[in-house]
Chain A
Amino acid sequence: QQQVKQSPQSLIVQKGGISIINCAYENTAFDYFPWYQQFPGKGPALLIAIRPDVSEKKEGRFTISFNKSAKQFSLHIMDSQPGDSATYFCAASYNNDMRFGAGTRLTVKP
C-alpha cells in the first residue's frame, strides 16, 4: 500500500505564481520528510527537507509546511520560474527506510 500520498499528479502554473504540492503520510514513526526534484532523464536531487520538530522550513523560494497532527506536509514554490519545471517527489523516512510519493509534474509557463 502507498504510505505517502502525493497530489496533484500534474500542475501548471504561470511564471511568477505559487506552486503548491501536497503530501500525506500514514506512519507516525516517520521522522524525516524530504522533497526531491527530478529533471527529465536525470536522477532526483534533494531540494529541501524537514524534521517533525518544526512546522516550517524555508530555503530561498522553496518552503516546506509541516502539520504533524494532520500527518500532512506541503511544498510551496514562490515566484515560480520556467526553470522550476520538473517532477517533484515528496518522501518520508524512518530508520533509513524511505517511502516516496507518486510525483507531481510541474510545468511553469513563461
Chain B
Amino acid sequence: DGGITQSPKYLFRKEGQNVTLSCEQNLNHDAMYWYRQDPGQGLRLIYYSQIVNDFQKGDIAEGYSVSREKKESFPLTVTSAQKNPTAFYLCASNFGGPNTGELFFGEGSRLTVL
C-alpha cells in the first residue's frame, strides 16, 4: 500500500540533545513537507522540499534541519537550538508544483522533551 511512514511514533528527549524524525514515502511524490502541530495553532510549516537535494525554510525553521538525499526520504532533525521542541510533528507529500492540491500526511511523531 502506498503511503507515508513516520517513525518513531513517540520519542522522548532530554534537553540539549538532537533528535531525528524519519519520514519515508512510496507515493512517488516529488514534494515533501514537515509541519509542527501545537494545540490551538493549527499546522505550521517547518521545511519543505520540491526536489531531491533541494529544500526551503518554512515559517518556523529555526532550530530544525533537514536533508533530501533520496526522493523517498525527508528526515527532520530537531536540534538543541529549538527552544520549545515538545510538539506533534507531521510529514506530508504531494506531486509539487502549482495547482497540485491535496497533501498526504503521515501519522505523525510526538516528541516530548523531558
Contact = CB atoms under 8 A, between A and B. Distances in A.
Interface centre among A9, A43, A44 (most CB of B within 10 A): A43
B40 interface: yes
B8 to A, nearest CB: 13
A60 B61 CA distance: 39
A100 B43 CA distance: 6
Contacts, number: 54
Contacts of B84: none
Interface residues of A, number: 23
A93 B43 CA distance: 13
A79 interface: no
Nearest to A95: B98
A62 interface: no
Given A41-B108, A42-B107, A43-B107, A34 B42 contact: no
Given A41-B108, A103-B40, 12 more contacts: A9-B40, A31-B99, A34-B101, A34-B103, A41-B107, A42-B108, A43-B4, A43-B92, A89-B43, A96-B97, A100-B44, A102-B42
Interface of B: 4, 6, 31, 40-45, 50, 90, 92, 94, 96-108, 110
